[in-house]
Amino acid sequence: MTAEERFLQYIALDTTSDENSPTCPSTEGQWALIRLLEKEMKGLGMENVRADGHGYVYGFIPANDVSLPAIGLIAHMDTVDAVPGSPIHPKKVRYTGGEIVLNEEKNIRMTPEQRHLGHDLIVTDGTTLLGGDDKAGVAEIMTLCEYVLAHPDEKHGKICVGFTPDEEIGRGADLFDVAGFGADFAYTVDGGAPDEIEYENFNAAAAKVLVHGFSIHPGAAKNRMKNAARLAIRFHEMLPVHQIPECTEGYEGFFHLCDMKGAEQEAELTYIIRDHDRQKFEEKKARMRKIADYLNGEYGDGTFELHIRDSYYNMKEKVLERPEVLHKAEDALRRCGLTPRSIPIRGGTDGARLSYMGLVCPNLGTGGCNGHGVYEYVSVNDMEKMVEVLKRLVLK
């Protein structure tokens, strides 16, 4: 089975994750893909295949050359809830330039990246995401495993495979069995262009601001009402106006207001905080605390309640302790005719958390573009190229 065929099979399953769910995996839909992958891995002849009670799927291909390192390959099974995750109506188009009409009836159009001229692209109908993030990575890893098992004369070390739930809600590495996984180091296959190697990601935190007001009839409000909704706006306006996603790129960090709700009595603001630089990351958190303290001094103690929780840290510090892991990936890319590019991730991967859990884990591309939206698409050509990259990565 090709990576394309696997991909189309996987995206037919709705695996949207849910941040508000207390379970792992967070949604029942993810179990369909978990069970499918478990069955497929066993059918290929992989060893110690298991789906644990939390929805993590593991298996490995034994080494036929024990002098080679045990390499892990990891991808996540869930998809983001930013746009609908089903029903997905994919179609395959040859990109010859200009716009692609995704949906004639709704007049939804998209212009792919110029580097994909001449490529076969799998696109959506403009009403859902596609699921390339990260089912393209899942499909490429599984296709690599099928190849390796069908070519037993090609030398390789132990190949450890892991598929995680709930990466899109920041929980993908929470219950990952690093010791049981058995890899010396690993790579997530969860990026963009095939020539990319990503080992710098944001330091990340989530912040919640609860504002406690005092509601009273507006006609009798003078010197009495404390409008929580208005005070929430004041808190937000005290943050740096240009340190937002819409005004930043590259290594520039930001505060991102994800959600706001409330009325006179209670209000709530939800943020994510991001920065590649650890010191600037800590300064951003300190700035939010300073604002909360200042406003509590003005409106009374307890008016503003701030909760900040760190999510993950920049994996660069850990990856650079094992430069050979990067060199191996770079060599695989060059052997496939690609010139390696290292770009900072303006986000995070399971690999960031795993690198701090003792499993150094930079990120490789998949051929996917425009993730987390209805204009998401995957290049079939790039998927095929990534399978070749993975071969060069794990085979001697």
* Catalytic residue ranges: 78, 167
Are the C-beta atoms of 55 and 167 separated by less than 8 Å?
no
| CB proximity list for 87: less than 8 A, separation 6 or greater | 14, 128
Is residue 223 classed as helix, strand or coil in its secondary structure? coil
Are the C-beta atoms of 122 and 130 separated by less than 8 Å?
yes
- For residue 138, CA distances in Å to 132, 269, 340, 349 come to 9, 35, 22, 14
Are the C-beta atoms of 291 and 235 separated by less than 8 Å?
yes
Buried b (16+ CB within 10 A) or exposed e, 36-72: bbbebbeebebeebebeebbbbbbbbebeeeebbbbb
Tokens of 325: 């892991």
Question: How far does Cα 330 stand from its chain's mean position?
Answer: 22
